[in-house]
Amino acid sequence: MFKKIFVFFAFLFFCFNSAFSRVNEEVVHDALGFMLGGDSGWGAVTNEYEIDGCIITYVQPIDFNITGIAIYDFNKALWNSAASQVGDDGREYFILNGDVGVQELYAYDSDEVDVSDSLWIYGLEAGPSTSMIFPILVDISRFENAMWDLMDECPGIKSKY
- DSSP of 146-159, one letter per residue? HHHHHHHH---S--
| pLDDT tens digits, 80-116 | 999 999 998 999 999 999 999 999 999 999 999 999 9
Where residue 10 falls among pLDDT bands split at 50, 70, 90?
very low
- What is the value of pTM for the model shown? 0.83
112 φψ region: left (φ > 0), alpha (ψ -120 to 50), beta (else): left
SS3 96: strand
Residue 8 has pLDDT above 80, yes or no: no
Q: Distance between CA atoms of 10 and 6, rounded to whole angstroms?
A: 6
Q: Three-state SS across 104-140? A: EEEEEECCCCECHHHHHHHCCCCEEECEEEEECCCCH
Phi and psi for 82 in degrees, rounded to 5? -55, 130
To the nearest whole percent, how much of the chain has pLDDT over 90?
Answer: 78
CB contact at 8 A, 36 and 134: yes
Q: What share of the chain is helix, strand, coil (3-state, %, to 5)?
A: 40, 30, 30
